[in-house]
Chains A and B, each alone.
Chain A
């Protein structure tokens, strides 16, 4: 078992690290502490650089023009990309591109023409509409949005909550109940154009994450063609579940990257900062915080990379992805919290990134399935069918 990076991984990680330090961090000095976007000309310039590096569109399969990079390497890249103030939710401000909604790679050719290819060209964007006011952790049961067949169309009524980007999107994936008696086997995924009559973005939901907001959606007699069903009728939950599992690995990686950056800043700071005639680094209380940080970072890094390696080998990785998400989000919170403590008053000021990381990291223990649901998934995998 070789735990070292390959020469190629080492090179790619070094490239991304330099990109973050030489391109992103200097720009970030001049942005609002809660900014989530670069100036358009900066973004265009940096996208040209990531394209030249061969790393643009990391999540796009090679068959669609993306780079041929395994998930372990993409995880290593994601850890590097998040090592700046906005890195947790907007790693490198989107300059590495993205695949948009990965579910569309499984779409029909007609759907790909209308949604996937324009998205890859940067002409359209989509949202993922799963969670509802009735809950997001158990979507198979919580989905109350209903779709009723009407000839060749479906009529959708209901609403969604905690949906990111819907107010700016051209289309979205909306999960609706199409058979009320079949639980998880009664949910269908629809591709919905946001200019469809009956589609409403009712409000912005403000959260701890002050850079970006979620929205609340309402659907009133929204008519959607059957040709816009993604996959099969009543098979939408599998689409949602696959996405949730895959998303857990990069989600964990972002937390690790921020934790690494926070620890690096603390390691720079404590030998310089003196209290009672000696540097903070000589205090055991501080040393132990740094030690605990290092252990938290290492544990979450290896658990996350193991999950990615299993996915790369084509093995089941649901349990490992849940463990990565659980461990990295909780460890990330602890590391940022300890670093704030070491920086004292400066740690809570907007001059430094800790306060933004602290707020945003707290959300990570809830978003994409809270810690308790991850434990439930792991327990189910350990105990098998008896717990289902």
Chain B
């Protein structure tokens, strides 16, 4: 399994038609493909990825693209994606208000 989310970016409007109520993780990006936000649809989410991504797109300014991964390991995968982003860029995506508690440090090969 790839550490980074390598799925292709999908236009936000199209993504909303493709998304279902699965659990999983997702990233939102601007037109340039810069990741603005990393999120997850957990076990208590309404309509899974579809509901969570719809809500996130309303909250994150400039988000025009989506990529996602269906996963029941959404909790650990979410933290992994944040750690990888932090390892790559030395910070979290711009739309993240702050560090989640106890976020670890990865140094991917």
- Enumerate chain A interface residues (CB-CB to B < 8 A): 32-37, 40, 166-168, 194, 200-204, 206-207, 210-213, 215, 218, 350
Query: Would you list 25 pairs from A and B whose C-beta atoms are within 8 A, ordered by A residue?
Result: A32-B75, A33-B43, A34-B43, A34-B74, A34-B75, A166-B104, A168-B104, A200-B107, A200-B109, A201-B104, A201-B105, A202-B108, A203-B80, A203-B108, A204-B3, A204-B79, A204-B80, A204-B83, A206-B1, A207-B73, A210-B73, A210-B74, A211-B75, A213-B80, A350-B44
- B59 close to chain A: CB less than 8 A: no
User: Which residues of A have CB within 8 Å of B71?
Assistant: 206
| Residue contact A32 to B104, C-beta cutoff 8 Å | no
Size of the B side of the interface (Cβ < 8 Å), in residues, is: 24
Known contacts A202-B106, A210-B72; is-contact A32 B80 (Cβ 8 Å): no
Chain B minimum-CB-distance residue to A169: B104
Chain B minimum-CB-distance residue to A195: B105
- B67 close to chain A: CB less than 8 A: no
* Cα–Cα, bound, A37→B101 (Å): 9
Q: With A203-B106, A206-B80, A211-B76 given, can you name 12 additional A-B contacts, CB distance below 8 Å?
A: A33-B42, A33-B43, A34-B43, A168-B103, A200-B109, A202-B106, A204-B80, A206-B1, A206-B71, A206-B73, A210-B73, A210-B75
User: Which residues of B have CB within 8 Å of A210?
Assistant: 72-76
User: Which residues of B have CB within 8 Å of A168?
Assistant: 102-105
| Residue contact B76 to A204, C-beta cutoff 8 Å | yes
Q: Which of B18-74 contact A (CB under 8 A)?
A: 42-44, 71-74
| Residue contact B106 to A218, C-beta cutoff 8 Å | no
* Cα–Cα, bound, A33→B75 (Å): 10
* Cα–Cα, bound, A32→B101 (Å): 15
User: Which residues of A have CB within 8 Å of B109?
Assistant: 200, 202, 218
* Cα–Cα, bound, A213→B75 (Å): 9
* Chain A: minimal CB distance from B18 (Å): 23
Most buried by A among B1, B76, B102: B76
* Chain B: minimal CB distance from A220 (Å): 10
User: Which residues of A have CB within 8 Å of B105?
Assistant: 167-168, 194, 201
User: Which residues of B have CB within 8 Å of A167?
Assistant: 83, 104-106
| Residue contact A206 to B76, C-beta cutoff 8 Å | yes
| Residue contact B76 to A213, C-beta cutoff 8 Å | yes
Contacts between chains A and B (CB distance < 8 A), count:
69
User: Which residues of B have CB within 8 Å of A202?
Assistant: 106-109
User: Which residues of A have CB within 8 Å of B79?
Assistant: 204, 213
User: Which residues of A have CB within 8 Å of B83?
Assistant: 167, 204
* Chain A: minimal CB distance from B81 (Å): 10
* Cα–Cα, bound, A210→B74 (Å): 7
* Cα–Cα, bound, A362→B77 (Å): 20
User: Which residues of B have CB within 8 Å of A36?
Assistant: 75
User: Which residues of A have CB within 8 Å of B42?
Assistant: 32-34
Chain B minimum-CB-distance residue to A168: B104
Most buried by A among B3, B43, B79: B43
* Cα–Cα, bound, A200→B106 (Å): 7
* Cα–Cα, bound, A38→B44 (Å): 16
User: Which residues of B have CB within 8 Å of A207?
Assistant: 73
* Cα–Cα, bound, A35→B101 (Å): 12
* Chain B: minimal CB distance from A216 (Å): 10
Known contacts A204-B76, A204-B79, A211-B76; is-contact A37 B102 (Cβ 8 Å): yes
User: Which residues of A have CB within 8 Å of B108?
Assistant: 202-203
Chain A minimum-CB-distance residue to B105: A167
* Cα–Cα, bound, A210→B75 (Å): 6
Chain A minimum-CB-distance residue to B76: A213
User: Which residues of B have CB within 8 Å of A166?
Assistant: 104
* Cα–Cα, bound, A40→B79 (Å): 17
* Cα–Cα, bound, A260→B44 (Å): 25
Chain A minimum-CB-distance residue to B71: A206
* Cα–Cα, bound, A33→B74 (Å): 11
| Residue contact A201 to B43, C-beta cutoff 8 Å | no
User: Which residues of A have CB within 8 Å of B1?
Assistant: 206
* Cα–Cα, bound, A18→B95 (Å): 41
* Chain A: minimal CB distance from B38 (Å): 14
Known contacts A204-B80, A210-B73; is-contact A32 B43 (Cβ 8 Å): yes
Chain A minimum-CB-distance residue to B102: A168
Flag B74-101 by CB within 8 Å of A: 1 or 0 each: 1111011001000000000000000001
* Cα–Cα, bound, A206→B3 (Å): 11
* Chain A: minimal CB distance from B7 (Å): 17
